[in-house]
Amino acid sequence: MSPIPPLSSLNYPRSFPAGPFLSLTLSMDSGAQRVSAELLPYVRVYEDGRVERLKGSEFVPASLNDTQTGVSSKDVLISSESAVSARLFLPKLTCNRQKLPVLVYFHGGAFCIESAFSFLFHRYLNILVNEANVVAVSVEYRRAPEHLLPAAYEDCWAALEWVSSHSVGRGANYEPWLTDYADFDRIFLGGDSAGGNIVHNVAMRAGSQSLPHNIRVRGAFLVHPYFWGSEPIGSESMEDHTPNSLANRVWLFVCPSSAAGVDDPMINPMSPGAPRLSKLGCSRLLVCVAGKDILCYRGRLYHSAVGNSGWEGEVELFEVEGEGHVYHIFDPYTENAGLMIKRLASFLNS
Task: Look up 29 and say whether it is catalytic.
Answer: no
**Cis link prior to 5 (omega < 30° from 0)?**
no
Amino acid sitting at position 304: S
Residue among 75, 192, 293, 328 flagged as catalytic: 293
Contact of 232 with 238, CB cutoff 8 Å:
yes
Contact of 122 with 63, CB cutoff 8 Å:
no
Outline where DSSP puts E strands in the chain: 35-39, 43-46, 51-53, 72-79, 84-90, 100-106, 135-140, 182-192, 217-223, 282-290, 314-320
Dump the DSSP string for 145-160.
Answer: TTS-TTHHHHHHHHHH
Task: Look up 293 and say whether it is catalytic.
Answer: yes
Contact of 126 with 66, CB cutoff 8 Å:
yes
Residue among 118, 165, 193, 258 flagged as catalytic: 193
Among residues 89, 92, 52, 55, the alpha carbon closest in space to that of 70 is found at 92
Q: How many CB atoms are located within 10 Å of the residue 129 CB?
A: 29
Task: Look up 241 and say whether it is catalytic.
Answer: no
Catalytic residues: 193, 293, 325
